[in-house]
């Protein structure tokens, strides 16, 4: 017979525990909420009332329901209070010895039939379970942060967890309105195993001054549609917790260097910069526990004036190419008021691009996003040409031709001969070194990368790629242009994958490796990332959209340039590409798209 859960216990009322108490109490369960001291209990109580008050203020919770919710919670100091609970979940700091001690104690205090659960993110549930006399009743219930919001729960069964315990916990998750994925006991389970390599890589980028914190975070939010950037997420998770998770994953997960915590993390933790909970981490917050970021000494100056500082004036822009990106970029510049010269390899191609730009602008009119007058004005600003000579007097050239280094180099050499001095020459390459293109000219200081995302008229992000020869003036000009286009320009160095692809593709590759290792299914992995981390698409959905061949090519580039063993493309990805399963475009990738 299935267990009845009437009263549950939560041990540790920090970032996660307080949220877990709320989830239980909201769903009608009585909760014994345990902390180590009166002061810690008080902190937990303040977190809970703060969160429920915000829910009331937002109209998501009735006042009476909040009062009933709070009345269900019994705050206590010490584990003895857990004698009558049916299930207890532990959410204390991520240290094995601490958790084992607490489990031994809970085993002594709790009813014999009670289930003992841990919210650990990375420690072995099995190792925790052997501290008790009932390892078959020990299970992992891994909530996501913030627990009241995130839908996912990872239920972790060890080799000795009883089937009835797993079934009862799965039913409990359903009662809590959560979606559960049940998995075995492996470091990082699904979501953290995929998330933390990425987070640590982002910290490494910041530490190496590859890009600013604002730009790294903006790149992942705007380029991938993630709910938060990686550094802001680190602050939410807590840097001490993140450090422990990475350290454990490194030791348990095959000593993958990507999980060796970035040195900066240790320094920040030692300095007491723990993220939101201490009021300062990568960002500074209004006060400890507050989600509100306040300016600090690293905050970049705001406003167009700051952006335009040192920038050259740009009025006339040449766009070279006739593909999807060139077409989108022509539209973006024309709409923003620039005079545009489109150069293709022939009148036929120009006619096609012109047609595509018109169709796209007309769509804007139909959707009410653009007036007819503005459409006509934008079209009126574009001239169509099939010869580079017409670029002699433009102020900026944006190259968007085929992704082949020899072609781009030849083009830049020609532009060098044709264009006037002072022109900014930009390439939209997504994978080639910008410096190679720059050195094909006699003016590498004027060359920069402008990496637009597809579809250019919609995606708000542009990566501005500076080489070691790019001048400050060229960079300032690029930033000012992006601002005028209404895009967010993020500045980064000339390294494979820039910011977005370098952080995104290894994560996708890791998901393929996880599938290949039969740890979980494509569906569950997709669920985990969408419901646990708020990603707009799961990794396999995204791989099928991007194309497996494109993804493999990017991953190979990253691997070749950075020589990071963990970046080696997953063999399964290579095989699927060889088999012609390239994703949606061929009807089959990780999923079969021909069947509905």
Ligand X SMILES: NC(=O)c1ccc[n+]([C@@H]2O[C@H](COP(=O)([O-])OP(=O)(O)OC[C@H]3O[C@@H](n4cnc5c(N)ncnc54)[C@H](O)[C@@H]3O)[C@@H](O)[C@H]2O)c1
- Interacting residues toward ligand X by CB under 6 A: 11-17, 34-36, 40, 91-94, 102, 119-121, 142-145, 237-238, 241, 245, 277
- Asked if 166 contacts 182 with a C-beta cutoff of 8 angstroms, the reply is yes
The tokens of 575 are what?
């095989």
CA-to-CA separations, 156 to 3, 141, 182, 200, 588, in angstroms, rounded = 18, 6, 6, 24, 32
Classify residue 574 by burial, with Cβ atoms within 10 Å: 0-12, 13-18, 19+.
Answer: middle
Please give the backbone phi and psi of residue 66, each rounded to the nearest 5 degrees, phi first. -65, -45
Output the smallest distance, CB 238 to ligand X, in A: 5
Shortest Cβ 246–ligand X spacing (Å): 11
In degrees and rounded to multiples of 5, residue 18 shows phi and psi of: -60, -40
> Which runs of E-coded beta strand occur in 131-265?
138-143, 152-157, 179-184
For residue 436 the two structure tokens come to: 């190679």
Q: Shortest CA distance to 461 belongs to which of 123, 250, 217?
A: 217
Q: Which residues contact 6 (CB under 8 A, 6 or more apart)?
A: 29, 30, 86
Active site residue 593: no
Backbone angle region of 416, left / alpha / beta, with phi > 0 → left and psi within -120 to 50 → alpha: alpha
Supply the minimum distance, in Å, between the C-beta of residue 36 and ligand X. Answer: 4
Q: How far is the CB of 97 from ligand X (least distance, A)?
A: 11
Q: What are phi and psi of 56, to 5 degrees?
A: -65, -45
Task: State the minimum distance, in angstroms, from the CB of residue 288 to ligand X.
Answer: 11
Residue closer to ligand X by CB (options 36, 572) is 36
Determine whether 142 is an active site residue.
yes
Q: In the complex, what is the shortest distance from the CB of residue 532 to ligand X, in angstroms, rounded to a whole number?
A: 9
Residue 257's CB: how many other CB atoms inside 10 A? Answer: 11
Q: How far is the CB of 12 from ligand X (least distance, A)?
A: 3
Tell me which residue has its CB nearest to ligand X.
Answer: 14
The least distance separating ligand X from the CB of residue 509, rounded to whole angstroms, comes to 24
Q: Which of 51, 121, 360, 431 is catalytic?
A: 121
Smaller CB separation from ligand X, 13 or 317: 13
The residue among 93 and 291 lying less far from ligand X, judged by its C-beta, is 93
192 is catalytic: yes
Say how far apart CA 263 and CA 489 lie, in whole Å.
28
Nearer to ligand X among residue 161 and residue 466 (C-beta): 161
Catalytic hit among 51, 124, 145, 192: 192
> In the chain, what are the helix, strand and coil shares in percent, each to the nearest 5?
50, 15, 35
The continuous run of DSSP H or E covering 367 comes out as none
Secondary structure element (H or E) that encloses residue 171, with its range: helix 163-175
Q: Choose between 287 and 596: whose C-beta lies nearer to ligand X.
A: 287
Give whichever of 145 and 475 is closer to ligand X, judged by the CB atom: 145
Q: Of the residues 35, 124, 142, 557, which is catalytic?
A: 142
Q: How far apart are CA 235 and CA 280, in angstroms?
A: 8
DSSP 3-state assignment of 132? Answer: coil
Query: Which one is catalytic: 35, 154, 331, 557?
Result: 154
Contacts for 96-103: CB closer than 8 Å, 24+ residues apart: 96/123, 96/124, 96/127, 96/128, 96/248, 99/123, 99/128, 99/131, 100/127, 100/128, 100/131, 101/131, 102/11, 103/128, 103/129, 103/131, 103/132, 103/138
Indicate the residue among 142 and 451 with the shorter CB distance to ligand X.
142
DSSP per-residue codes, 444-513: GGGEEEEEE-SSTTT--EEEEEE-TT--HHHHHHHHHHHHHHT-EEEEEES-TTTTHHHHHHHHHHHHHH
Q: How far is the CB of 274 from ligand X (least distance, A)?
A: 8
Pick the closer one to ligand X by CB: 223 or 238.
238
Q: How do beta strands 339-343 and 152-157 pair?
A: unpaired
Nearer to ligand X, 35 or 180 (CB): 35
Just list the catalytic residues.
121, 142, 154, 192
């Amino acid at each position: 017979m299935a267990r009845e859960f009437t009263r549950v216990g939560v041990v540790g009322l920090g970032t996660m525990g307080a949220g877990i108490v709320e989830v239980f109490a909201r769903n009608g369960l009585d909760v014994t909420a345990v902390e180590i001291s009166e002061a810690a209990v008080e902190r937990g109580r303040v977190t809970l009332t703060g969160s429920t008050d915000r829910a009331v203020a937002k109209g998501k919770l009735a006042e009476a329901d909040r009062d009933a919710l709070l009345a269900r919670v019994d705050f206590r100091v010490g584990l003895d209070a857990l004698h009558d609970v049916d299930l207890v979940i532990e959410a204390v700091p991520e240290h094995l010895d601490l958790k084992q001690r607490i489990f031994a104690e809970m085993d002594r205090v709790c009813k014999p039939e009670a289930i003992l659960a841990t919210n650990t993110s990375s420690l072995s549930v099995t190792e925790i379970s052997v501290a008790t006399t009932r390892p078959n009743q020990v299970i992992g219930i891994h909530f996501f942060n913030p627990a009241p919001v995130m839908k996912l729960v990872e239920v972790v069964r060890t080799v000795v967890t009883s089937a009835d315990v797993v079934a009862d916990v799965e039913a409990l998750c359903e009662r809590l309105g959560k979606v559960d994925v049940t998995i075995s006991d492996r470091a990082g389970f699904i979501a953290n195993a995929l998330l933390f390599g990425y987070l640590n890589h982002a910290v490494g980028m910041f530490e190496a001054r590859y890009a600013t914190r604002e730009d790294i975070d903006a790149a992942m939010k705007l380029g991938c549609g993630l709910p938060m950037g990686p550094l802001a997420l680190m602050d939410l998770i807590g840097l001490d917790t993140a450090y422990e998770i990475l350290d454990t994953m490194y030791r348990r997960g095959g000593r993958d260097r990507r999980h060796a915590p970035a040195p900066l993390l240790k320094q920040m933790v030692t300095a007491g910069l723990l993220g939101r909970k201490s009021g300062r981490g990568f960002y500074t917050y209004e006060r400890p526990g507050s989600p509100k970021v306040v300016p600090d000494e690293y905050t970049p100056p705001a406003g167009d004036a700051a952006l335009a500082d040192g920038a050259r004036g740009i009025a006339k822009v040449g766009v070279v190419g006739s593909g999807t990106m060139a077409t989108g970029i022509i539209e973006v510049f024309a709409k923003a008021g620039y005079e545009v010269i489109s150069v293709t390899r022939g009148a036929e191609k120009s006619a096609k691009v012109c047609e595509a730009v018109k169709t796209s602008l007309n769509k804007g009119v139909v959707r009410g996003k653009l007036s007819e007058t503005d459409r006509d004005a934008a079209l009126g600003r574009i001239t169509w040409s099939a010869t580079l000579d017409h670029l002699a007097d433009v102020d900026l050239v944006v190259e968007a031709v085929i992704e082949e280094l020899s072609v781009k180099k030849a083009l830049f050499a020609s532009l060098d001969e044709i264009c006037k001095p002072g022109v900014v020459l930009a390439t939209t390459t997504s994978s080639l070194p910008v410096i190679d293109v720059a050195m094909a000219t006699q003016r590498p200081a004027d060359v920069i990368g402008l990496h637009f995302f597809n579809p250019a008229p919609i995606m708000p992000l542009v990566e501005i790629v500076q080489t070691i020869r790019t001048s400050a003036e060229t960079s300032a000009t690029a930033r000012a242009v992006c601002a005028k286009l209404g895009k967010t320009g993020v500045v980064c160095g000339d390294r494979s994958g820039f910011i977005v692809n370098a952080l995104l593709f290894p994560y996708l590759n890791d998901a393929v490796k996880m599938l290949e290792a039969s740890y979980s299914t494509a569906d569950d992995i997709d669920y985990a990332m969408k419901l646990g981390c708020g990603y707009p698409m799961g990794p396999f959905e995204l791989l099928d959209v991007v194309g497996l061949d494109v993804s493999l090519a990017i991953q190979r580039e990253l691997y070749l340039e950075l020589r990071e063993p963990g970046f080696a493309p997953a063999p399964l990805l290579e095989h699927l590409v060889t088999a012609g399963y390239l994703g949606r475009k061929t009807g089959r990738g990780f999923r079969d798209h021909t069947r509905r």
